Amino acid sequence: MFVRYLFPVLGAAFLSGGAAATALESSIRPVARPAATQAATPTPQVTLVAVSTKSLRPKLRPEALSDGTGDTQVTRVSNPAFDNWVRSFRGRALSRGIRAQVFDAAFQGINYNADVVSKDRNQAEFKRQIWDYLDSAASPERVSMGQRALRRHRRALNRIERAYGVEAEVVTAVWGLESKYGTRMGDIPVIEALSTLAFDGRRGAFFEKQLMAALKILQNGDTTPRNFTGSWAGAMGHTQFIPTSYEAYAVDFTGDGRRDIWSDDPSDALASTAAYLKRFGWRKGMPWGVEVRVPNGARFGNTKRMPSQWAAQGVVGVDGRPVRDYGSARILQPAGPAGASFMVFSNFDVIKRYNNADAYAIGVGHLSDRIKGGPAIQASWPRGYTPVSFEERKEIQRRLKRMGYPLEKIDGIIGPNTAKSIMGFQQSAGMKVDGYASREVLNRLRSR
């Protein structure tokens, strides 16, 4: 979840000047991938086992299961070197205060997970632009789901807002981007994911630290090994904490003695998110940012000024009026001067402490505005192709699936699986192969 771990979790690079990013079909968190030397991994003795992990996942609310996803198939392999590593790690864990029975229960049935390593190695494969990312981050479906979630949990969110001073819509938006309001929290055993990555060695020390923290979570009784599930990289619960961030910032908001961020009741997870944002300086009443109009040819750098000072230089809201003096702000143009411009305040940087990507912070902020009833981004983007609507993106997915392309979900989100299918179709149709859900692709599909 947090930028505190500054490693590739579920996305790829998003630079403030408009670089590409991985579009995701589950959580949509873009995180910059550091340069890393691929560590040599002992060749495993492979025995493939297809394992259904649905039973390992906390039961979701029935209304959350609207995307039609089924069991997750996980490729586990027999790997003697991994088994030896676990035995060695057991000694280190026990010397750090982990009880033997806790360790043994945590590792019961745990194997080397080849899918986890594959995802770690290949997460930068599909690149998407800022507008594609925001199309998904604030899609009509995600906005309507967020409004329903806000109404359903209004009492808890109001209490959280009073306790931590973070607006309910902002907390809800983080929830929406991290796990689509609890519907996609990940169903891979956290211990298996983290131990696989710690053994694999690309960032072994980091993941071993996370694994040790995960064992402490189990030892403290906050959850059980059966319910201790998350993403392939160990991010957990409704708002996708990693274990060390959980240790530092998770709270027991319900007062039941456990910091249960996996529960059907998301209160602990949402309060933990608010506690984190407050810890890094969230200011209630200050917007994350405001879409603005800027003079043609203006260049801004990283200069900060009060909105009234920006107004004197011709930078005004999309309504043509000066932005209120909420505090000092800078001008951000994530796609360059040809795209949308935003006046961003200190709360924007607080969101980036949760995930250090401009696109993510814009996504959270804009989704929170839309949940509150605000408008879509008004400026056009330099897409380079003719865009389609949310419903038309779903039509593209339906038509591709009918043609035999391996799409599991018809959700209007153009993530890696959909992009790969579009590229396959484009290649077969003699089109430019770029993976974009464009009007041209839709028209060609309709003609088939």
Model confidence at 336: pLDDT above 50: yes
pTM: 0.81
Return the pLDDT at 74.
Answer: 62
pLDDT range class, residue 415, cuts 50, 70, 90? confident
What value does the mean pLDDT of the chain take? 85
Above pLDDT 90, what percent of the chain?
75
What's the number of CA atoms in the CB half-sphere (13 Å) around residue 87? 6
Model confidence at 42: pLDDT above 80: no
Beta-carbon contacts of 375 under 8 Å, excluding residues fewer than 6 positions away, are 369
Return the pLDDT at 404.
Answer: 96
Residue 334 backbone dihedrals phi, psi, to 5 degrees = -65, -20
pLDDT greater at residue 121 or residue 139: 139
392 flagged as catalytic: no
| CB 131 within 8 Å of CB 414 | no
- Calculate mean pLDDT across residues 348-368: 96
| CB 122 within 8 Å of CB 233 | no
- Calculate mean pLDDT across residues 107-130: 82
In 282-439, DSSP assigns E strands to: 289-293, 316-317, 330-332, 341-344
pLDDT greater at residue 370 or residue 76: 370
**pLDDT (tens digit, 9 = 90+) per residue, 210-227?**
999 999 999 999 999 999
In 24-81, DSSP assigns E strands to: 49-52, 73-77
pLDDT greater at residue 374 or residue 60: 374
Three-state secondary-structure class, residue 231 = coil
From the list 25, 167, 169, 178, the catalytic residue is: 178
Model confidence at 32: pLDDT above 50: no
Query: Token pair for residue 78?
Result: 């027999």
**Number of C-beta neighbours around residue 112 at 10 A:** 25
Model confidence at 129: pLDDT above 90: no
- Calculate mean pLDDT across residues 229-234: 95
Question: Alpha-carbon distance 379 to 362, whole Å?
Answer: 14
Complete DSSP assignment for 354-367:
HS--HHHHHHHHHH
Return the pLDDT at 122.
Answer: 72
**pLDDT (tens digit, 9 = 90+) per residue, 294-321?**
999 898 989 999 999 999 999 999 999 9
Beta-carbon contacts of 155 under 8 Å, excluding residues fewer than 6 positions away, are none
Model confidence at 409: pLDDT above 90: no
Return the pLDDT at 325.
Answer: 98
Return the pLDDT at 429.
Answer: 96
Beta-carbon contacts of 218 under 8 Å, excluding residues fewer than 6 positions away, are 102, 105, 106, 224, 225, 228
Return the pLDDT at 11.
Answer: 31
Return the pLDDT at 62.
Answer: 26
pLDDT greater at residue 408 or residue 144: 144
